[in-house]
Structure 1
Amino acid sequence: MSVVGIDLGTLNTVIAVARNRGVDVITNEVSNRATPSLVGFGPKSRYLGEAAKNQEISNLKNTVSSFVRLAGRSLNDPDVQLEKEFVSAPLVDVNGQVGAEVTYLGKKEKFTATQITAMYLTKIKGTASAELKLPVSDVVLSCPVWYTDAQRRAILDAAEIAGLKCLRLTNTTTATALGYGITKTDLPAPEEKPKRVVFVDIGHSNYTASVVEFKKGELAVKSTAWDRHFGGRYIDKALVDHFATEFKEKFKVDINENAKARIRVAAGVEKLKKVLSANSVAPLNIESVMNDVDVRGMLKREELEELIKPMLDRATAPIEQALAEAKLKPEDIDHIEMVGGCTRVPALKARIQEFFGKPLSFTLNQDEAVARGCAFNCAILSPVFRVRDFSVHDIVSYPIEFTWEKSEDIPDEDTSLTVFNKGNVMPSTKILTFYRKHAFDLEAKYAKPEELPGKANPWIGRFSVKGVKEDSKGDFMICKLKARLNIHGVLNVESGYYVEEVEVEEPIPEEKKEGDMDVDSKEPKEPPKMRKVKKQQRKGDLPLAAGTAALDQSSKDTAAEKENQMIMEDKLVADTENTKNELESFIYELKDKILDVYAEFANDDEKSRLNTKLEAIEEWLYDDGEDASKAQYVSKMEDIRSIAGPIIQRYKDKIQQEQEVAMKKQQEAHAAKQAEIERKKREEEAKKQAEAPEPKDAEMTDAETTKPDEVEEPSS
């Protein structure tokens, strides 16, 4: 059983697996440790990950990026409108959700951001399976801490469509904190002062700061703050705008008029930015950026810092907010751990270090820390792994309230209640009590809509409680509802039941007076005094109907079926392309070998027929056969083999005969060698026996020996 953690990023995705008593980050099909978060659509198949990156510039309108930030949102969301600047494919409304309109298999198709995320997760699942040589099912996925209920449900739906079981949807900084703490052996004991660490994660498009307290075997997130529009892509945008102005003045080309040119400049400035992290100056050279014009430029680190000054001015805002919410000061923090690719920018590091007044820590891998934390979390949740006990206490990001209609029988009843406050520990369960005579509905929504990202819809879900009726006396039914904010950060009303108040007798506890002593007595004790009390007893369940932002099961099944169809189409296209390549290679191989290797095994007629056939099929391959089916390529391969087969077989027969002769000679040589060894062995043994000294007779005493001529006569 596999244990996989996935850092699902806006720019790249990193996959980590728990194995060999540790956690490894795995590579994709081109040996990269991070896979581009891109999905492209073509006339024959889809392009996922690396394949999508390779065709991005030539297929901009059909390549979708940033789908992780789009999932679970609507087209008119202000954040989605801002995201259009970073997505080259046209965004459209698909049944109330934002999606992309692309040309796929020669026709216009609309896919929701959730579907596109599922397509990409299918690719990630395949990459992990290929590396592990095992089917992948259980995973832990990361998401930004600021995701709403609808966005979290969209990611979970995408995972399910892709055939993945998400054990936990974890916040990125919480995953980083787990990866940091679970390996530490020097954490303070539960009764001691906790170790306080601030995790600063600045990636491609997000900036998150979390204050986390560690004790032995547990971590507790105390506060988290974020900036959703802060990261590497905003630095890239500032640089592209700068060079766009420069190129317009110096080379008379406007890259803003050509989307492909702007993408090429964006790729160039991303490299330039990385060079400037280690050097004071860096060049930019792009050949034929547009209209066959080559452009070049130069940038100093000081100029870069001036360009991104508005960003640098708010570099510590999330940290300040997180510390304020945790009621801590910079001097209360023991360590500041930096992760995310953007934390390599020197000016950014300098601003944060100046704020804390102490050195920053870079003990974690900046690009892979989140994925590693997700893999650790998956191992903890998986039944097949034994992991050191480590508890994770995350917190609620936005306050959640329930509202309901006022009961006619209770005129002064409140109609709303904040059930989960910001900062409450998560997961968490609350029991709500209602007094009703009829079925009723209640709605869950975010209590402070102004705090949501991009003014998102605060609505979370509507829950209908059925089976409610007045009791036999005409009184209210006491309804209990279990509301749970689960480990994914998703809210559900999990169950409902009703109770009745019944009178039960229970003993009255005796009050002991000071000085009283328990003394064993042989006298019988008086029976305890009893009292009647009212207690609630569970009597039955109440049926619930829920309406949330999550896809219903039939929609997920339909999307999964569509995904499987597209997987099969992709596989057929890949197999067809491989068969075509095999045919092309076979033609070139035979053309070469018939002149030398196979020359003596074919007569002139066979050579002529084979060459004619190869020329004809090669011509077909580059003309009508460019877009042929797999069956056609296989048929052409068989046509060639019908002529080349006997020739190749003769060559193989001779090779086999030569191998048999060589083997026989080798065996004979080996036997002769063994015989020679045996002969020499026998000669050596014979020689040793010949050189051995003759054994001497044992010496006898005079008493034991008599000479023949001195035989004693027997006495008479």
Structure 2
Amino acid sequence: MSVVGIDFGAQSTKIGVARNKGIDIITNEVSNRSTPSLVAFGPKSRYIGEAAKTQEVSNLKNTVGSLKRLIGRSFTDPDVQIEQEYNTATLCEVNGQVGAEVSYLGKKEKFTATQLVSAYLSKIKDTASKELRLPVSDVVLSCPPWFTDAQRRAMVDAAEIAGLKLLRLMNDTTATALGYGITKLDLPSAEEKPRRVVFVDIGHSNYTASVVEFRKGELNVKSTAYDRHFGGRNFDKALVDHFADEFKEKYKVDIRTNTKAWARTLAAAEKLKKVLSANASAPISIESLTEDIDVRAMVKREELEEMVRPLLERITVPLEQALAEAKLKVEDIDYVEMVGGCTRVPIIKETISKFFGKTLSFTLNQDEAIARGCAFSCAILSPVFRVRDFSVHDIVNYPIEFTWEQSPDIPDEDTSLTVFNKGNVMPSTKILTFYRKQPFDLEARYAKPELLPGKMNPWIGRFSVKGVKADANDDFMICKLKARLNLHGILNVESGYYVEDVEVEEPIPEEGEKKEGDVSAHCRECEIPCSNPEQAMETDAPADGKKTRKVKKQVRKGDLPISTGTSSIDQQTKEAWTERENAMAMEDKLVADTDEKKNELEAFIYELRDKVDTTYSEFASDEEKEKIKTKLSESEDWLYEEGEDTTKAVYVAKMDEIRFLAGPVIQRYLDKIEAERQAILKAQEEEAAKRRAEEEAKRKAEEEAKKAAEPKPEAADAEMKDAPSGETAAPAENAEGEEKQ
């Protein structure tokens, strides 16, 4: 099982993977660490990611970008009209959602933003699976903190259609903060003052600032502010608008009326912006922009800053708002961490540094920090890895209220309640209590629609509570509903149940003990405060001698069915879209395999033609050579004419025909190579055996020489050994002396 974190960006996506040595950012099929967030459609298949980027200029009308900024929105949203300026494909309405109209397989089709995102996530899943050589299922996916319930539900639906199990939909800056905090070993303890860090994330199209407090093993997001239309693409567009005027005046070329020229200028402007971040001035040069006209220009950094002056004036607004909501001052901030590609722009760094009056920190990877944080979060939530405990407390960004119809039996009843306020900790659960005699409905909506992005519908969902009825005494049923804002930031009424006041006996505590009849006491089963603790009355002592009293407590008696209506797509539609996605993915694979076989056939023809007269020459007769060459010429002519566009099976058949004809020649060559290999192996074995024999002979000679060199025993020792038992042999010279005497 794999552990994957995905930073789903407006321009590109990064994939983080948890491994034993930490977090790695994996590369795609062309070895890039980021994959363009594009989906394109062609006459035979789709192109996703790098493939979409490669053919973008030649297929602008069918290439869709800004996927993250379109999902979960309606076509009439003003923000969608802004995205049309940055999209060459035609955006349209599809079943109340925004989508794109494209030409696919030779006919016009419409796809919702949810379908487009699911197609893209399928590609990301495939990229991760190939790199890890494992199936990918559990993921944590990033999203902007300003996403609403509808947008978050659409992301969850898209992930499910792509076959991913979404463990958490995580806010971008929260993921960055987790990546920062979990690797720091010097965070203050619970008793100490927390470390306060502002995370500034300025990416391709979005600017977010979050104030986060760190203690050992936990982070608390205190506030988040954002500018949804501030990012690198605004700098790019300012440059393109400048060049459009200059080229029209200098070269008489109007790129505003030429989509391809505009796209090429936009790509050149993006590169120029990056160069200007490190240099005072830089040139731009585009060959054959249109009608064989080459264009050139020079831009200074000061000129670019002047072009985006209105944009730069907005830099401090989210910072001020974030500090105000966190009830902090500039002096209370310990560090300012910068992430996002656009934070490399000098004027932005200078302005933010001046605002806080301190040096900015760049300890995190500016492009990959979110992906790493998501991978850490996935590792924490997944049972596969053991990770140091680190609690993440995010916050609610929009207040949520519940509304309901007034009960006819309670004329003075309030009909609305703000359940989750802005700044409340998330995830969070609240218990709502209703007194009813019949089934009822309640709706959830955002309490302040003016805070929502664009013109989003403040409606979140409708929840119908069934099975409610009056009791035998025609009294109210006490209904308890569990409203939960989950890890994804999505609201649901998860369950409902009803309780009854039941009189139970409990022992009276001795003096000094906590009285179970206190208001703070909770029913062990329901975890609900006693309704009437003061109504407890003493009773006679039981056999064990302890006094008891009767107390009224609320006891859970049964469940209440709840039917839910939200912006999530229904199960039938989800299954249909999943089936369609799988079918299109299979079609893409078939087309890719067909192209691979075609390229394989072409390469085989060229390779064999060369080898017939060189490598295979001595293994083929003249007649065989002639037949093979003729077949190769015929196959080449066919390949570039009627075989230009055919099926995978036909290419395989053509390959087999050539191999059948050239097979005997190739086999003779291979037999010779094998014979030579065997001869070499035999010679090597003989040489090895010879070396072993020499080493054995050398070893035996050394052993014999060692034995010969050992000292022999002296004669005296030998005579002493031969003496009879009990007698001692005299030395030889003494014996001679006795004879002489």
Shift in CA distance, 615/529, structure 1 to aligned 2, threshold 3 Å: same
CA contact (8 A) 2:10 2:67 kept: yes
1:389 corresponds to: 389
- 1:405-424 → structure 2 map (5 Å cutoff): 405-424=405-424
Aligned partners of 2:440 and 2:466 also within 8 Å: yes
Shift of 1:139: 0.6
Secondary structure in 1 matching 2:594: helix
Match of 1:663 in 2: 681
When the two structures are superposed, what TM-score results if normalisation uses the length of structure 1?
Answer: 0.94
Quick one: which amino acid aligns to residue 556 of structure 1? K
Q: Give, in angstroms, the shift of residue 711 of structure 1.
A: 12
Q: CA deviation at 1:503?
A: 2.9
User: What is the match of residue 590 of structure 1?
Assistant: 608
Aligned mate of 2:635, from 617, 627, 631: 617
1:541-620 → structure 2 map (5 Å cutoff): 541-620=559-638
| Offset, 1:512 | 7.1
2: CA distance between counterparts of 1:429 and 1:274? 46
- Give the corresponding residue for 2:521: none
Structure 2 residue identity aligned to 1:138: D
Task: Flag the 1:395–1:687 CA change in 2: closer, same or farther, 3 A.
Answer: closer
CA positional deviation for 1:584: 0.9
Q: Letter of the 1:192 partner, please give it.
A: E
Which of 629, 634, 656 is the aligned partner of 2:652? 634
1:54-133 equivalences in 2 (<5 Å): 54-133=54-133
Letter aligned with residue 201 of structure 2: D
User: What residue number does 1:517 align with?
Assistant: none
Aligned position for 1:160 = 160
1:345 matched to which residue of 2? 345
Over 3 Å counting, the alpha-carbon distance change for 1:694 and 1:526 in structure 2 is: closer
Normalised by the length of structure 2, the TM-score is 0.91
The 3-state SS of whatever aligns with 1:135 is coil
Residue 666 of structure 2 corresponds to residue 645 of structure 1: no
Aligned residue for 1:655, secondary structure, equals helix
Residue 135 of structure 2 aligns to a residue whose secondary structure is coil
Which residue in the other structure is 1:499 paired with? 499
- 1-side partners of 2:8 and 2:652: how far apart? 40
- CA displacement at 1:526 relative to structure 2: 11
Give the drift of 1:600.
1.3
1:645-688: CA deviations, max 9, x gaps? 01111111122222223333333344344444555556666777
SS in 2 for 1:455: coil
Which residue in 1 is equivalent to 2:316?
316
**Cα displacement string for residues 309-343 of structure 1 (whole angstroms, at most 9, x for unaligned residues):** 11111101001001011111101111111110000
Letter in structure 1 aligned against 2:388:
R
Which residue is equivalent to 1:255? 255
- Structure 1 residue 344: Cα displacement: 0.5
Q: Give the 3 Å change call, closer, same or farther, for CA 613–711 of structure 1 in structure 2.
A: same
- Give 1:286's aligned residue: 286
Q: Counterpart in 2 of 1:520?
A: none
- In 2, Cα distance between the equivalents of 1:20 and 1:119? 30
Q: Which runs of 5+ in 1 are unaligned?
A: 514-523
- SS at 1:453's partner residue? coil
Matches for 1:187-586 after TM superposition, within 5 Å: 187-506=187-506, 531-586=549-604
Q: Which moved more, 1:129-138 or 1:224-233?
A: 129-138
Secondary structure of residue in 2 paired with 1:591: helix
- Name the CA distance, whole Å, in 2 between partners of 1:593 and 1:706: 96
SS at match of 1:454: coil
Which shows bigger deviation, 692-701 or 45-54? 692-701
CA RMSD of aligned residues (A): 2.4
Write the letter of the residue equivalent to 1:249.
E
Distance 1:602 1:79, change over 3 A: same
1:196 Cα deviation after fit: 0.8
Structure 1 residues 638 and 465, CA gap change in structure 2 (3 angstroms): same
Secondary structure of residue in 2 paired with 1:305? helix
Letter in 2 for 1:607: K
Query: Aligned equivalents of 2:736 and 2:21: distance in 1?
Result: 96
Q: Amino acid of the residue matched to residue 665 of structure 2?
A: I
2:179 counterpart letter in structure 1: G
Shift of 1:502: 2.5
The alpha-carbon distance between structure 1 residues 57 and 537, as it changes in their structure 2 partners (threshold 3 A), is: same
| SS, match of residue 142 in structure 1 | strand
Structure 2 Cα separation of the partners of residues 711 and 526 of structure 1: 118
- Residue 124 of structure 1 aligns with an amino acid whose one-letter code is I
Residues 144 and 171 of structure 2 are in contact (CA less than 8 Å); yes or no, is this contact kept in structure 1?
yes
| Aligned-pair CA distance for 1:708 | 12
Q: What letter matches 2:71 in structure 1?
A: A
Cα distance change of structure 1 residues 109 and 696 upon mapping to structure 2, 3 Å threshold:
same
Cα distance change on mapping 1:659 and 1:247 into 2, 3 Å: same
Q: Deviations over 1:356-406 (max 9, x none)?
A: 111111111110111111111111111121111111111100000111111
- How many pairs does the alignment contain? 703
Segment drifting more, 650-659 vs 663-672: 663-672
8 Å CA contact 2:199, 2:337 repeated in 1: yes
Mapped contact 2:156–2:166 kept (Cα < 8 A): yes
1:495 offset after TM fit, Å?
0.4
Greater Cα offset, 394-403 or 384-393: 384-393
Give, in whole Å, the separation in 2 of the partners of 1:447 and 1:318.
22
3-state DSSP class of the match of 1:640? helix
- Counterpart of 1:286, as a letter, is I
TM superposition shift of 1:506: 4.3
**Residues of 2 paired with 1:161 and 1:512: CA distance?**
60
Distance 1:478 1:696 in 2: 116
Other structure's SS at 2:495 match: strand
CA deviation vs aligned residue, 1:233-291 (integer Å, no higher than 9, x gap) = 01111111011111111111011111111111111111111111111000000001112
Matched residue type, 1:646: P
Structure-2 separation of matches of 1:226 and 1:692: 93
Give the distance between the partners of 1:703 and 1:423, measured in 2 at CA: 114
Equivalent residues of 2:716, 2:731 under 8 A apart: no
Counterpart amino acid of residue 460 in structure 2? I
Q: State the distance in 1 between where 2:176 and 2:161 align.
A: 27
SS at match of 1:597: coil
Q: Name the stretch that deviates more: 449-458 or 566-575.
A: 566-575
Q: CA deviation at 1:507?
A: 5.2
Amino acid at match of 2:66: S
Compared CA separation, residues 169 and 684, structure 1 to 2 (3 A): closer
Q: 1:2 to 1:690 in 2, by over 3 A?
A: closer
